[in-house]
Amino acid sequence: MATKPLALQRGDVIGIVTLGSPLEAAVIDARIDVLRRTGLGVVLGRHVYDATGFLAGPAAGRAEDLMTMFADPRVKMILPTRGGVGVEGILPYLDFAYIANHPKIVSGYSDITALLNALYQQADLISLHSLLLIDFKSETPAYNFEQFFTATSSIEAPRPILNPPGKPMTGKVPGIATGPIVGGNLTSFVGMLGTPFEIDTRGKIVLIEETHEPVNTVYRYLEQLRLAGKLNDCSGILIGECTGCVEAYGVTYEELIDNYLVPLGKPLISNLASGHGVYKAAIPIGANAVMDGAEGTIALLEPAVRYPGMV
């Protein structure tokens, strides 16, 4: 089993970092105000407000901020401001051996997918495909916060991953699949192929979600995953939303799943609330889970966090 970071408790300090694209200072400050109102403290990375075009400064500086948070004994959890682009650029600068010996909760989605999977594969650390700092705002659904705070504090196992009421997951291919969950944002997933941080899907449940890509582009990415063996090696496929993914040549996202992924014969569930959608389930990357493709259910077989004294 992978390493579980210590659970988050009221009064703990969150380390805020910007690891990919920049975010406006006013937005960062407003989101921090909301975060503090939940009873958590905040420490800012030195480069949190940096902006150089579409990147939040050089990769080495962004990586330095992340490593500083892992080294700071006050910090119990690390929360990126946003994803965007550029997160993969920090990976060569990270000391994964140090991270493995100083495990902490890391949460995010979108381009943060690259970091979450690298933490699991390089440091054997469970992380969360869940909220970013940008999601801490008054209009964020209560479901998202409930998912986030449950995942960062609960040691219940097994524990089902549930969509919000009235938005059921859909079983597409029957069968039981078990294994650690990997993956996340499809663009980021594909972008890691051929690098030292390529995602290992062997015996894993693969999570896939995307945003604002036409369906023919989504097909191209899925075909690249298939040719790389990632869809053949996995034990099951968990499909999240594709927000703003417009149909192409009359083919919708759901039809693409039915026509391309279902024939692979892997246990498959679609319509998981995740990533870029309005509703965001908290999915632990690296935690063992079991999915039932007939019933359209998935449950965690282990918690994502631990308390002092627990293994």
Q: Which of 21, 107, 110, 130 is catalytic?
A: 110
Q: Tell me if the bond preceding 158 is cis, omega within 30° of 0.
A: yes
Question: What is the bridge-based pairing of β-strands 159-160 and 297-300?
Answer: antiparallel
- Taking the C-alpha atoms of residue 14 and residue 36, their distance in angstroms, rounded to an integer, is 9
Q: Is 102 a catalytic residue?
A: no
| Residue 18, CA distances (Å) to 56, 87, 106 in order | 7, 9, 13
Locate 128 and state its tokens.
Answer: 């969360």
Q: Which of 64, 127, 130, 209 is catalytic?
A: 209
Locate 62 and state its tokens.
Answer: 């962004």
Q: Which of 88, 129, 276, 302 is catalytic?
A: 276
Residues pairing with 15 in the sheet: 43, 78
Specify the residue for token string 């991270």: 99
Q: Is 188 a catalytic residue?
A: no
Q: Is 107 a catalytic residue?
A: no
Question: What is the bridge-based pairing of β-strands 127-129 and 105-108?
Answer: parallel
Specify the residue for token string 């504090």: 153
For the chain, the 3-state helix, strand and coil shares in percent, each to the nearest 5, are: 30, 25, 45
Task: Show which residues are catalytic.
Answer: 110, 209, 276
